Amino acid sequence: MSTHNTSTHARTRAQPRRVAVPSGARRLNLLRAVFILCFVLLALRLFQIQIADHARYSKLSVAQVRVNLTTTALRAGIYDRYGQILAISRPTSLVIADDFQITHPTQEARAMSPMVHVPLAKLTRLLSEKNGYVVVNNKLDLTNGRKLAAAAFPGIVVQDSSVRSYPNGTLGQSLIGGTNASGAGSAGLEYQYQKQLAGQTGITREFVSSSGVSLPSSVSKVIRKATPGVGLELTIDSSLQFVTERALATELKSSGGVSADAVFMDVKTGEILADASLVNTKSHPGVLGPIPSWGRSVGVPGIEETINNLPFSQAYEPGSVFKVVTFSAALQAGLITPKSVFTVPYSAVVGGRLFHDAELHGVEHLSATQVIAQSSNIGTYEIGRLVGEAGLLAQVQRLGFGQVTSLNYPGETAGLLVNAANWYASDEVALPIGQVDAVPAIQVLDAYNTVANGGVFVEPKLVRGYVYANGTTKATPPSATRRALSPAVASTMDTMLQQVVLAGTGVSAIIPGYSVAGKTGTSSIPWPGKDLLLPGQFYASFVGFAPANHPVFSMIVVVERPLSSIYGGSIAAPVFHQVMSYALHHYGIPSDGTIVKPLTGSGASIGSDVT
């Protein structure tokens, strides 16, 4: 019995004693477990980032500072027909500062100033701006650019750049155009041939800061080299261009006109040897508004090159120079001969409108040649009535009016033409005398050039060849041609137009030793938005060619709203005379030696061509 009790007591004493754990210790253990779990998760995440996804994150980190930058190719040049430079790009160095990387701007500026050609005080200020990207010099010469790059100033980056220049100043600027701040063409041929002139950009891989400046000690890698642009050899003759601009500017200044333009062309090839487009900034443009210009004088006070090339971009009612349509159509249809006689009163009412000749006269009996020489509006109407609406409209198209040239020059207008759908009875007079259609000067010249070229229409041409970076030149194809008039009609028109100069309204275009054919025009200007004409406002024009017996050159001159005189014969014809005289001697064209007898009977005053 006692033995039993003793074993029971022993078993009872052998049981472990329960010790109470304080609540603070339990929380501490839980916190340790959480920390251990977080550490394990963090370790797993680091393993994933640094081991499993290392390649991916490495690429992302590099991509934050590595960029592929485009490097601009050197813009190609523009030259005249003899290789004279009209526009050229000069390689330069672009100096950029990341002033966050510059710790001693004053010391760095003192060392850099002689190289970058920036005054010390200004350079110190630039290097202290703290905006991350500062252009120090955007046209530093290459020698100093290389010295600066070799010096490896902290925070300074030197990149390739260029600056566009025009060695002849404003010469031909309305035709050539210009470039904007980024170096891209903004007007004229610079704009039209932007892609070709600019070339192909290259790609350079660099490591840059967030502000876009290369990181210190980083190495650039050329992925693709920039390809230089292809230059243009124009048909323009710089010497003739200068003479044309100066003669036109002088006339525009002395006459007080608003604008003036002129185009000089090779009859056979259609090559444009001179193209001038000027504005008189001292004139008052009135309701027609100002004409944008480049802001630099051409050498005559107040006269500047226009931004838009007016011979292509400005349509105007041509007036009497449009009579080539009427006469050539009548000759082509066999309806008249140069000696056909017409009874010509002073005026006529057609379609409810009164039309009349420029000067009061009684009933006259004029030959077709006298009608055009004296620029009779009513006589031209009589001839146009024989041709009829369909014949006139067809001849307008045949001579190239209302159609953009193959040049497709920037801003070129096709003009505004009347057609069968909007034909009014009064157009039976208005169209033959050049009142109802509006066309650019280049189309008028093309029509007269067709007469000079034996009836063959030749498209105008401005680009003679392409100049490659290695110095080779590739000629452009000849201009497209088509027959518009028969040789006989062209020859007859030539003879009749010679009488305009010898005994008609164009006597100011006479050139001693050379026969000249041409036509004057003095045309009214419509009031914008109104069925009215601007009072006392006219376009004065002359278009012609020489030597008339064997035509080589053709030219048109248009002066807008002259004040000293309004007539094409007194304002535009003298400019033609001066420029054509120079060209004939400049190119060594021999005198044709032919004496053409002027018409007998009453002549015409210089002002009888007003329409």
Q: What gap in Å lies between CA 174 and CA 561, rounded to an integer?
A: 20
Q: Are 376 and 357 in contact (CB under 8 A)?
A: yes
Rounded to the nearest angstrom, the gap between the alpha carbon of residue 186 and the centroid of all alpha carbons in its chain is: 7
Structure tokens at 272: 């444009």
Structure tokens at 148: 């600066």
Provide CB contacts within 8 A for 587, sequence distance 6+. Answer: 552, 553
Question: What 3-state class would DSSP assign to 456?
Answer: strand
Q: Are 434 and 376 in contact (CB under 8 A)?
A: no
pLDDT of residue 64: 56
Closest CA to 432 of 329, 522, 344: 329
Give the single-character DSSP code of 555: E
Q: What gap in Å lies between CA 452 and CA 117, rounded to an integer?
A: 58
Q: What gap in Å lies between CA 351 and CA 341, rounded to an integer?
A: 25
Provide CB contacts within 8 A for 91, sequence distance 6+. Answer: 74, 142, 160, 161, 162
Strands 231-234 and 78-79: parallel
Q: What gap in Å lies between CA 472 and CA 477, rounded to an integer?
A: 16
Q: What gap in Å lies between CA 179 and CA 400, rounded to an integer?
A: 32
Closest CA to 444 of 276, 262, 593, 584: 262
- Kindly report the CA angle at 420 between 433 and 324, in degrees rounded to 5? 25
Question: Amino acid identity of 239?
Answer: S
pLDDT of residue 340: 98
Q: What gap in Å lies between CA 518 and CA 321, rounded to an integer?
A: 9
Mean pLDDT by 10 residues, the chain (611 residues): 47 54 74 82 74 62 60 91 96 84 86 90 87 84 87 82 92 97 93 96 71 58 85 98 98 98 98 98 94 96 98 97 98 98 97 94 97 97 98 98 97 97 96 97 98 98 96 96 98 98 95 96 93 93 97 98 96 98 97 70 70 88
Each residue of 266-283: b (16+ CB within 10 Å) or e? bbbbbbbbbbbbbbbbeb
Closest CA to 538 of 220, 274, 259, 241: 259
Q: Are 318 and 375 in contact (CB under 8 A)?
A: no
Query: HEC profile for 8-49?
Result: HHHHHHHCCCCCCCCHHHHHHHHHHHHHHHHHHHHHHHHHHH
- Kindly report the CA angle at 413 between 411 and 415, in degrees rounded to 5? 165
Q: What gap in Å lies between CA 509 and CA 261, rounded to an integer?
A: 17
Q: Which domains does the chain have, with CATH numbers?
A: 68-101+126-198+218-234 (3.90.1310.10), 238-586 (3.40.710.10)
How many distinct helices (H) and strands (E) make up the chain? 19, 27
